[in-house]
Amino acid sequence: MLISFSVQNFMSFSNKVELNMLTTAAVKELPQNATVAVVNGRGDSKQKLGILKSTIIFGPNAGGKTNLLAALRRFCGFVIKSHDEMEGTISNPFLLDRKKRKEPSEFEVRLLLSGIRYRFGFSVNEERVLEEWLFIADKGVERLLYTREYRQNERADIYKYGPEQAKSFNALEKKVRPNALLLSVAAQFNIREALDIHVFLRKIKVLDIRGDRTDDISESQLKAVSLWLQYADTGIRAVKTVSADMNFKGLLSDLEQRAKKDKKFKNLHQAMLLLNEFEEGFQNKPPKNMEFIYLDRENKRVSISKKQQSAGTLAMLATACHIMNQYRQGGILLFDELESSLHPMICEALIKVIHEITGDKLQFIMTTHNVLLLNSDLFRRDQVWIMEKDQYGQSGLKNLADFVGIRKFAKLGKHYLEGFFGGLPLLDDRKIKEIVAALQAQSESEEHSNEQA
């Protein structure tokens, strides 16, 4: 599970910003929104650690909410792929400060995997990794696995290892390029600690309602999808899958006929080979189409295809399928603008489902503008974060549990709209007249140009 993620000097984050998923001792409400994880302690002892199942970030447009999710995604991508040949790094410094433009971007994550805590991070400039570190707490106290530091005067990476890791990691030093991470390389050689982190970070996914995630849904999972769509009052009674018709032989024949008439088909042979491969793959796993069952006025079942469903229905379907797939493999699901294409009441229902999921397999990080969610007794105070930019364009992050005087189950949305927590857009109504005047001037200018033409 994710304990925390921090980023510094990346996009709109000039100073260090940390998203912490640990529960706050003073917050007692909604215990079902957190899980009590077991952590390895000294000897054979075990400790308990409260970790939140979800967290939600509020703030104005362009405040930095999406940038935080982007930072986490870029971090994961670099860890997963940096062992491959690639250009540069993921450095993207804060540009509104002359000094920061020349400084490295820094990332760090703290994880709990199978009872073991890890702390891993790195700093990078545009060309190379400048620092990298990995610590482990498998027996209660954090200890060093390795550190890496690029020394400009020596033009070399200097590595230091814990006594038990020197042999396994030391052998890989020469295989690490300047713009690659030792952890990424070590995972390719099945070094356990590196591989565990690598596997977990691959399970951090973004929910994209435009994407189709229905292919991997099993027949048993269709029942849960059907129940979700019923609960959302869509009129859908059930969802089923039917085998899709794929006439590859007919398609190949059409391509051959067209190639004889059209000289532009230079890559026809390659296309045909790919289609043959697809045909073999579909024979092993035939594609399926999803159909939706409704009842007509005579109470008879009517099957309607996915193509005929509304954008809202497809958004709910995609959301359900994402959660199904993610729950199966575990990890973290990122929702950017949770309310996109979803009714506020559906958002509330979705969050209730998330918090009813038991165990420690799955976490959710969400961003939203939907203030109604703050007034619905859905979130603990330590689950709610406020993102805002200061006058210099720097994004900052505040947790509601840090505010004094907030009662348990208070109407947080009301406090938020009153500006108690910050994170609101600062709107100057005088600009409205200027905007209207600019639009009118543009329209008059275009009319004048048309008259002259």
Lowest mean pLDDT among 54-63, 279-288, 374-383: 279-288
**108 DSSP assignment:** E
pLDDT of residue 245: 60
Residues 275 and 373 in one domain: no
Residues 6+ away with beta carbon under 8 Å from 118 = 109, 110, 111, 112, 134, 135, 136, 137, 193, 196, 197
Lowest mean pLDDT among 95-109, 169-183, 294-308, 412-426: 412-426
Mean pLDDT of 270-280: 56
Residues 141 and 11 in one domain: yes
Convert 261-297 to b/e letters by CB count within 10 Å (16 or more is b): eeeeeeebeeebeeeeeeeeeeeeeeeeebbbeeeee
Residues 13 and 142 in one domain: yes
- Per cent of the chain over pLDDT 70 is 85
* Position 209 confidence tier, pLDDT thresholds 50, 70, 90: low
pLDDT of residue 254: 64
Contact 10, 121 (CB under 8 A): no
Residues 161 and 107 in one domain: yes
Q: Is residue 430 part of a domain?
A: no
- The yes-or-no verdict on residue 372 having pLDDT over 70 is yes
Number of domains in the chain: 2
pLDDT of residue 241: 80
Contact 20, 3 (CB under 8 A): yes
The per-residue pLDDT of the chain, averaged, comes to 84
- The yes-or-no verdict on residue 272 having pLDDT over 70 is no
Q: Is residue 428 part of a domain?
A: no
Q: pLDDT tens digits, residue range 31-43? A: 999 999 888 877 7
Q: Is residue 426 part of a domain?
A: no
Highest mean pLDDT: which range of 9-23, 247-261, 303-317, 423-437? 9-23
- The yes-or-no verdict on residue 128 having pLDDT over 70 is yes
Q: Is residue 11 part of a domain?
A: yes
Final residue of a domain: which of 317, 349, 375?
Answer: 317
pTM: 0.82
Residues 98 and 70 in one domain: yes
Give residue 229's domain range: 219-317
pLDDT of residue 287: 59
pLDDT of residue 210: 62
Q: pLDDT tens digits, residue range 385-411? A: 999 999 999 999 999 898 877 766 667
Q: Which CATH number does the domain housing residue 120 bear?
A: 3.40.50.300
Final residue of a domain: which of 317, 341, 363?
Answer: 317
Q: Is residue 440 part of a domain?
A: no
pLDDT of residue 14: 96
Q: Which residue has the higher pLDDT, 99 or 430?
A: 99
- The yes-or-no verdict on residue 158 having pLDDT over 70 is yes
DSSP-derived secondary structure for 292-304? EEEE-TTS-EEEE
Residues 255 and 307 in one domain: yes
Mean pLDDT of 99-113: 96
Residues 254 and 356 in one domain: no
